[in-house]
Amino acid sequence: MQDMIDRLKGEHEDIAGAIRALLPRVGRRPVSRLALEDTLRLLDTRVAPHERDEEEKLFPRFGAATDPLEPVLEAHAAIEEGRKALRDALADWLAGAAGADPEALACRAEEVLHQVLEHFQAEERQVFTLARVEAAPAPATKAARA
Ligand SMILES: [Fe+2]
Ligand SMILES: [Fe+2]
């Protein structure tokens, strides 16, 4: 389990670095189409597969200890919802749909990126720490040491 935690934590660092590099571009006004497309690409190709991986490979290992997972799963769902909303709104804007608002789109992109950063921190505190405890070998008993 420790190898998996280390890999996921490494992905957090890589993705967070990419988000920090992207945020100033998404915050510029008028926002560029490329900055929004890069945001969606990051969410599609790195964030979504990372979260899926956690849900499929890490979280089931907690068995009945699901309490700490609830807020994490809620955050995954909120990020996924934000990713889909951004994808649809970006497609509308690029298709020239009436009422498509690039400023609102940029704000939504910034919001989702911040949500991911906050989620990574919370997940490391709430879940990765617990996973380390679960993975640690049980302390040797007196009888075992004797
Ligand atoms: Fe996650
Ligand atoms: Fe994660």
Q: Give the residue extent of every domain in the chain.
A: 2-135
Judge whether 118 and 63 are in contact, CB under 8 Å: no
Neighbours of ion ligand 1 (CB under 5 A): 51, 54, 123
Q: How confident is the model at residue 63 (pLDDT cuts 50, 70, 90)?
A: confident
pLDDT value of residue 67: 78
Can you tell me the mean pLDDT for 132-138? 62
- Percentage of the chain exceeding pLDDT 90: 75
Instruction: Tell me phi and psi for residue 133, to 5 degrees.
Output: -65, -45
Q: Given a cut of 90, is residue 136 above it in pLDDT?
A: no
Please give the distance, rounded to the nearest whole angstrom, from the Cα atom of residue 54 to the centre of ligand 1: 6
Q: Dump strand ranges (E) for the chain.
A: none
Burial of 17 from C-beta contacts in 10 A (0-12 / 13-18 / 19+): exposed
- Note the ligand closest to the C-alpha atom of 73: 1
Digit-coded pLDDT (tens) for 89-132: 999 999 999 888 999 999 999 999 999 999 999 999 988 887 76
> CA 121, CA 117: separation in Å to the nearest integer?
7
- Note the ligand closest to the C-alpha atom of 75: 1
pTM tops 0.85: yes
Contacts 24+ apart (CB under 8 A), 63-67: 65/130, 65/134
